[in-house]
Amino acid sequence: MAMKIAVASGKGGTGKTTLAVSLAVSLGANGRGERTPSEGRPPLLLDCDVEAPDAHLFLEPTVEASAKAVLQVPRIVQDRCTLCGVCTEVCQFNALALLGDEVHLFPELCHACGSCKLACPDDAIEEVPREVGLLEAGSTDDLEFGRGLLNVGEAMPLPVIRQLKDWRHPEPGQLLVLDTPPGTSCPMVETVMGSDFVVLVTEPTPCGLHDLELAVEVVRELAIPMGVVINRDGIGDSGVEEFCATEDIPILLRIPFQREIAEGIARGRILVEIRPEYREILQDMTRRVAEMAGQAGRRSGT
């Protein structure tokens, strides 16, 4: 069975992407079977931060396939439409309006829920695809890669994330690493859903603690086991450590605040390139994550 690890954070700028990329790279470069849970296949990294994907900037993968992310939106068949107005009343998102002698669709507001089509008494609504984003897949020497990109001006990242996860899913035995959108709203939930473990990246500051508390609440609701990585360890205070101890959340790793690391990341390098010893550290961390995910799975009977 494939293990799925989501790397998330309560907000952007915590080092989430560099950790997700480093984790996947560390398991692809050396592991392949004996030393890692990836059982011989290179890991699959999916960048689900579809509003601002940036994992490819660290990896520069070769793009091998692409597909459109689409929503199925209504199209009114005018010669069957009796202008009864039922569809405009049913639409919870105000995406349909009766204007003059036709029903008008505001495509950016449509969530593609299909309610209007179901409700139309005259079978006057068809569904047509509307492109809202792009999916890309490729690889590097270390891993397989996929990303979603929401079109500029589009407001709904969820379908792009969902379609990316459907389009590129791990093969049996392949490790999946999900780079999660920052924050704790729907895109984060959509990404981490179905994961075996969530790695929460934070900073040891009051702000980091506040965002971590929110993220922990969401992951608990989803009943997914989790652990914390403290990035820029050494700045700030001990609030994050105390919170993790109180809440019984394991601290998986502390990455020290060091100029060499900060400068390297700012230049587009990943942690395991700047400090190669982190390959092994991250492999060890993944083994512990796999054990914790397995224990949680046994406790819940899955």
Tokens representing residue 118 in the block: 């179901």
Residue 83 contacts residue 101 (beta carbons within 8 Å): yes
91 binds ligand SF4 (CB under 6 A): yes
Stretch that binds ligand SF4, among 87-95, 151-159, 214-222, 244-252 (CB under 6 A): 87-95
Relative to beta strand 197-202, strand 144-150 is: unpaired
185 binds ligand SF4 (CB under 6 A): no
End-to-end CA distance of the chain: 12
What gap in Å lies between CA 142 and CA 286, rounded to an integer? 16
Q: Which residue has the tokens 């509307």?
A: 130
25 binds ligand SF4 (CB under 6 A): no
Q: Least distance to ligand SF4 from the beta carbon of 186, Å?
A: 15
Q: Which of 212, 192, 216 is nearest to 202 (CA)?
A: 212
Binding residues for ligand SF4, how many (CB under 6 A)? 27
Stretch that binds ligand SF4, among 55-63, 90-98, 202-210, 219-227 (CB under 6 A): 90-98
- Cross-strand pairs, 148: 135
Identified binder of ligand SF4 from the candidate list 35, 75, 111, 162, rule CB under 6 A: 111
Q: Least distance to ligand SF4 from the beta carbon of 276, Å?
A: 50
Q: Which is nearer to ligand SF4, 21 or 95 (CB)?
A: 95
Residue type, 71: L
What gap in Å lies between CA 159 and CA 176, rounded to an integer? 19
107 binds ligand SF4 (CB under 6 A): no
81 binds ligand SF4 (CB under 6 A): yes
Residue 243 contacts residue 212 (beta carbons within 8 Å): yes
Identified binder of ligand SF4 from the candidate list 8, 46, 59, 95, rule CB under 6 A: 95
What residues make contact with ligand SF4 under the rule CB under 6 A? 73-74, 76, 81-87, 90-91, 93, 95-96, 103, 110-116, 120, 122, 124-125
